[in-house]
Structure 1
Amino acid sequence: MAEVAARHWITRGPDDLLPIPILYNYRHSIELSLKWLIRQAAECAIQGGYAGDEDISSEKLDVRLRTHNIRKLADCLNRYLALLNLPELERRIDPESWSQLAWLDSEDATGETFRYAIVGHGDYRAAARPVQENVNFYEQVNELHKLAHLLCVWGGGGGYASHLSVYADWQSEYLAAMESGT
């Protein structure tokens, strides 16, 4: 949805009604991708014999992933990637993606700022975006699109989802071969 709206904005010219919904949809897509990647990394760690202090069972993940905070999710993914038998550089989110995740978190840490005009409850209610911020919208959307694509691209595209899928396949094949003694 975010890409469709962004392409509409790019091809038809600026429309002041679209930037916030576009940012929200990219943010939501990235949040869901991070949650899925965390689950995949945890499954690979458990499959690989993880016996650390942190409970990474699916039940605990259900509780841990009840957040909309991008930074917490990115930190969690980094922790879980570090548990895998990967080359050092692949055990964490790359710096460029980390920079975009940090920007996204700084703009909408709770998942409410791009979604609602008013955030908070009771006496703590406030305008979600009290100060207009000027950004190069085209450039920012392009960066978010690249990040969303990198997180969830499948196949040979080199994205995190593809990478973890290949790792899980390799891990399963390796464990099956070890069990069969070949």
Structure 2
Amino acid sequence: MNDSDDDVLNLPRPAQPAHEIAVLGGTSEDDFTIACGYAAAAETTARSFLAQPDDGLVIPTLYLYRHSIELTLKWLIRLTARCALRCGYDGDENLRADKVNKKLQTHNIKKLAERLNTYVGHLDGCQERSLDSKTMSVLVQLDSEDEYGDAYRYALIGNASNSTLARPVQENVQFYEKVNSLHRLTRTLQDGYATVLHEYEQIQLGM
């Protein structure tokens, strides 16, 4: 392989050596920081498509947004459960961290959204911070298109003995409206609900 072939295979090296380094892990890394990264990646690929359409970007872009939304909901649920315990919640549901984490072993967006609304209802004076009807409508629509979190990851979905094509019929979709709806939803969750509930916890902690 000659140098010209190597240039074709490689990504362009950054002009500044410091830009070659990435930072991973540590105590500041959680589902929310990763969710924000997925959202940033989704916006990058969405903008790329809208500037120069490439159908190969559609499913990866939808997946990036969906996964960002799933991780954000899970982070919000954990945060809200902690806050509810500080509020003195003593209802039937066990909101201890390990129990909540077991309940979050799902990719179902609708169930996650409903759980978040339930937990928000346990917070003192915070019921109005439940997911509003418009946000819930978009979440339910997303869930209906990818209930198990595999339709935006694979061409074939389901178990091996009963697999089906995720998209058996080729169709034209209004990609801008679809992806913009997910973009707005992601921003609403991450810049809106996450900010409000994080501030609620900070007040509880006296910070």
| 1:147 and 2:180 correspond | no
Alignment match, 1:63: 102
Deviation at 1:134, TM superposition (A): 3.9
Matched, 1:161 2:194: yes
| AA in 2 matched with 1:139 | E
> Which residue does 2:115 correspond to in 1?
76
Equivalent AA in structure 2 for residue 2 of structure 1: A
Q: Could you say which residue in structure 2 is the equivalent of 1:101? A: 139
Q: Structure 1 residues 168 and 3, CA, compared in 2 at 3 Å: closer, same or farther?
A: same
SS in 1 for 2:46: helix
Q: Is the 8 A contact 2:120 2:126 kept in 1?
A: no
1:132–1:55 CA distance, 2 compared to 1 (3 A) = farther
Is 2:73 the partner of 1:34? yes
Identity %: 49
Deviation string, structure 1 residues 58-86 (Cα, Å, up to 9, x no partner): 11111100000001100100100111113
Unpaired runs of 5+ residues, structure 2, are: 1-40
| 1:51–1:4 distance in 2 versus 1, CA, 3 Å | same
- TM (norm. structure 1) is 0.87
1:75 and 1:132, CA in 2 relative to 1: closer, same or farther beyond 3 A?
farther
Out of 124, 144, 148, which is 2:162 matched to?
Answer: 124
Q: How far apart, in 1, do the equivalents of 2:170 and 2:204 lie?
A: 49
Specify the alignment match of 1:47 in structure 2: 86
Q: Which residue of 1 aligns with 2:25?
A: none
Q: Does 2:203 match 1:170?
A: yes
CA RMSD of the aligned region, Å?
Answer: 1.4
SS of residue paired to 1:102: helix
CA contact (8 A) 2:76 2:194 kept: yes
* Structure 1 stretches of at least 4 aligned residues deviating more than 4 Å after TM superposition: none
Paired AA for residue 136 in structure 1: Q
Query: 2: CA distance between counterparts of 1:100 and 1:146?
Result: 10
1:108 partner letter = D
Q: Which of the residues 150, 153, 173 maps onto 1:115? A: 153
**Structure exhibiting the larger radius of gyration computed from Cα positions:** 2
AA in 1 matched with 2:147: A
Residue 18 of structure 1 aligns to a residue whose secondary structure is: helix
Aligned equivalents of 1:133, 1:170: Cα separation in 2: 50
Give the residue type in structure 1 aligned to 2:202.
D
Q: CA deviation at 1:138?
A: 0.4
Match of 1:6 in 2: 46
